[in-house]
Amino acid sequence: MRVNDAANNHVALICAGDYTVDWGDGNTENFASGVKATHTYDFTALDAETETSGGWRQAIVVVTPQAGQALTLVNLDQTTGDTYTQGWLDVVVAGPAIGAIEIGGTTKPPTLLEQFEFVGGNVITNMTRMFYGCSSLASVPAMDTSSVTNMGGMFEGCSSLASAICTGLRYSVSIASCAFARSAIINFFTGLGTAAGAQTVNVTGNPGTASLTPDDIAIATAKGWTVTT
């Protein structure tokens, strides 16, 4: 979490399943399922050793299910009532029971977010607009998407995204107008699963699209995909 020396350091999130939030500044709170967790950071309370050359400090936020609970939803597309974007920089999620994640969106997408990683398997079927509007997102390491059936707009507005791997994906996806080099597009093709019928992977508008060779594109078409360049 990025924290500036200002009065606008607010953060909010919602989880399904009773949960505990360690805000990373010495404060820990419990929240009931579906109740919005909000917090305001004091810049001076954070470790000065975390301060960057840009003048902001960092807090590591840890969200865990309470005893006997399992989180099934994590939603970071929240606001505390102000107009400021939240300071999420790097988000790591793990949990086999999680069936939905909302990172970006139309409420208040985290435009400072640079990396997202889901560790392990999951049962998520719908990733529609999952990263919508996350304009600083640069990397999504290999993520299990074998259960996903809807990826509509997942990477829309992710103009900085240069690397992502959707392992086992079988349904249409677009990484159009992102920042993928040719090698990153090849890696994306390699991670795809066998298309479930007539499915399309759209790679238009990336720096590496024009340099794709027929052999590169065949990595996807050999698995039943239609590639839009």
Give tens-digit pLDDT for 2-55.
998 887 788 999 999 999 999 999 999 999 999 999 999 999 999 999 999 999
pLDDT band at 75 (very low <50, low <70, confident <90, very high): very high
- What mean pLDDT is predicted for residues 96-121? 89
Using the CB atoms, write b or e for 18-53: b if 16+ within 10 Å. Answer: bbbbebbbeeeeebebeeebbbebebeebeeeeeee
- What mean pLDDT is predicted for residues 211-226? 99
Q: Which residue has the higher pLDDT, 121 or 206?
A: 206
What pLDDT is recorded for position 82? 63
Q: Which residue has the higher pLDDT, 108 or 128?
A: 128
Highest mean pLDDT among 76-80, 93-97, 175-179: 175-179
Q: What are the phi and psi torsion angles at 213 (to 5°)?
A: -95, 165
Tokens at 28, concatenated? 């820990």
User: pLDDT tens digits, residue range 197-217?
Assistant: 999 999 999 999 999 999 999
Nearest one of 107, 160, 155, 153 to 135, comparing CA atoms: 160
CB 195 within 8 A of CB 201: no
What pLDDT is recorded for position 85? 66
What pLDDT is recorded for position 80? 74
What pLDDT is recorded for position 119? 92
User: pLDDT tens digits, residue range 173-201?
Assistant: 999 999 999 999 999 999 999 999 999 99
What pLDDT is recorded for position 114? 96
CB 139 within 8 A of CB 113: no
What pLDDT is recorded for position 84? 64
